[in-house]
């Protein structure tokens, strides 16, 4: 049995696909398949079920997987112990970003942190994925991710997960400049146009087409929960993962974008006006998340501490 074969088996199990696993391992797919087949022959049992559209674990594969991961962890620990004598850091960091976070702005420049970390620790492999918060929390629990930046719908973290909030801002309604939502209802002064409103009650969005982030994101969960509390189901007309794109759709009169607050200059450049949502006020919160028992290795631990220093908890806006 070869340690490489165990690594290949674990990677295929995590990706549920030979093509994606081969790309992650920088191998040709036929060679990867051959190595996994050889491992199965040595163990005398099939570990993977290849009959479906995705690769799944057999019963034996489910039983073997924790031991394969433990063997890989032991090898990595031995390597790291030797590296401590030279000050060399290596390993792999699996990082997840909630959809849209990479372009969120507001000083949340994960790319700059990744570049600085890679320059200082070139032997560390960084795997970056983008997904919904729900799926990334599940991946954290399974050990497939070391760290994730997720959107939050609840005040308390899920069991076994630790959090550091890095974004906490208001959720607003972005509308086109001529949208009737900007005009205060039944409050006119003779010979003087009424001033535009700066806030709108959530209930006033009951019958409006909404432009929203997709299900599985923290902001969408907050909006869905608030609408349910107000006694209605939101009319979602469009979904996308980039808040600024949602604002552009609203600017063209396609609906009301319910998004994290934008800087005034950004809103103006996108062609929208924003209204704070009240009754209740909604918050968009994002956090760095990791398993409470810590990342899987020193490289992930170092990167986690770097992220936490670089993005401290914010004051509310």
pLDDT in tens, 177-234: 999 888 876 655 555 555 678 899 999 999 999 999 988 888 899 999 999 999 999 9
As a whole number of angstroms, the distance between CA 205 and CA 132 comes to 25
What local confidence, expressed as pLDDT, does residue 185 receive?
Answer: 64
Compute the mean pLDDT over every residue in the chain, rounded to the nearest whole number: 87
Q: Which two tokens stand for residue 229?
A: 């509390």
Task: Name the H helices within 143-242.
Answer: 218-229
What local confidence, expressed as pLDDT, does residue 123 receive?
Answer: 83
Above 70 in pLDDT, residue 67?
yes
Above 50 in pLDDT, residue 85?
yes
What local confidence, expressed as pLDDT, does residue 26 receive?
Answer: 87
**Please, what are the domains in the chain?**
1-87 (1.10.10.10), 167-284 (3.40.190.290)
As a whole number of angstroms, the distance between CA 173 and CA 293 comes to 39
> Among 179, 172, 162, 151, which residue's Cα sits nearest to residue 285?
151
**What's the rounded mean pLDDT across residues 287-293?**
92
| Confidence tier at 105 by pLDDT (50, 70, 90) | very low
Q: How many helices (H) and strands (E) does the chain have?
A: 10, 12
Check: CB of residue 66 under 8 Å from CB of residue 6.
no
Check: CB of residue 9 under 8 Å from CB of residue 70.
no
Check: CB of residue 311 under 8 Å from CB of residue 166.
yes
As a whole number of angstroms, the distance between CA 42 and CA 311 comes to 48
Above 80 in pLDDT, residue 77?
no
Above 50 in pLDDT, residue 317?
no
Distances (CA, A) of 132 to 6, 56, 76, 151: 29, 22, 30, 8
As a whole number of angstroms, the distance between CA 79 and CA 297 comes to 11
Q: Which residue has the higher pLDDT, 246 or 151?
A: 246
What local confidence, expressed as pLDDT, does residue 119 receive?
Answer: 87
Q: Which residue has the higher pLDDT, 303 or 189?
A: 303
As a whole number of angstroms, the distance between CA 208 and CA 26 comes to 49
- 16-55 pLDDT, tens digit per residue, is 999 999 998 888 999 999 999 999 999 999 999 999 888 9
What local confidence, expressed as pLDDT, does residue 183 receive?
Answer: 83
- 240-250 pLDDT, tens digit per residue, is 988 899 999 99
């Amino acid at each position: 049995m070869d340690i490489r074969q165990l690594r290949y088996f674990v990677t295929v199990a995590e990706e549920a696909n030979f093509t994606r696993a081969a790309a992650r391992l920088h191998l040709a797919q036929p060679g990867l398949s051959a190595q996994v087949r050889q491992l199965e022959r040595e163990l005398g049992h099939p570990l993977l079920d290849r009959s479906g559209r995705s690769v799944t674990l057999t019963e034996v594969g489910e039983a073997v997987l924790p031991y394969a991961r433990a063997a890989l962890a032991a090898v990595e620990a031995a390597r790291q112990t030797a590296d401590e004598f030279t000050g060399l850091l290596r390993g792999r960091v699996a990082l997840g970003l909630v959809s849209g976070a990479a372009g969120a702005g507001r000083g949340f420049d994960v790319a700059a942190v990744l570049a600085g970390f890679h320059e200082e620790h070139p032997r560390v492999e960084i795997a970056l994925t983008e997904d919904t918060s729900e799926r990334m929390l599940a991946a954290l629990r399974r050990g497939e991710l070391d760290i994730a930046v997720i959107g939050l719908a609840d005040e308390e973290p899920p069991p076994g997960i630790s959090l550091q909030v890095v974004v906490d801002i208001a959720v607003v309604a972005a509308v086109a400049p001529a949208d009737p939502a900007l005009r205060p209802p039944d409050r006119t002064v003779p010979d003087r146009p009424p001033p535009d409103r700066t806030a709108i009650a959530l209930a006033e969005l009951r019958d409006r087409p909404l432009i929203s982030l997709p299900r599985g994101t923290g902001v969408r969960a907050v909006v869905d929960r608030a609408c349910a509390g107000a006694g209605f189901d939101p009319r979602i007309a469009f979904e996308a993962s980039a808040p600024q794109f949602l604002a552009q759709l609203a600017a063209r009169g396609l609906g009301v974008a319910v998004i994290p607050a934008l800087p005034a200059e950004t809103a103006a450049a996108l062609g929208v006006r924003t209204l704070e949502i009240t009754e209740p006020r909604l918050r968009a919160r994002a956090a760095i998340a990791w398993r409470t028992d810590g990342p899987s290795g020193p490289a992930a631990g170092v990167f986690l501490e770097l992220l936490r220093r670089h993005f401290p908890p914010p004051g509310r806006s």
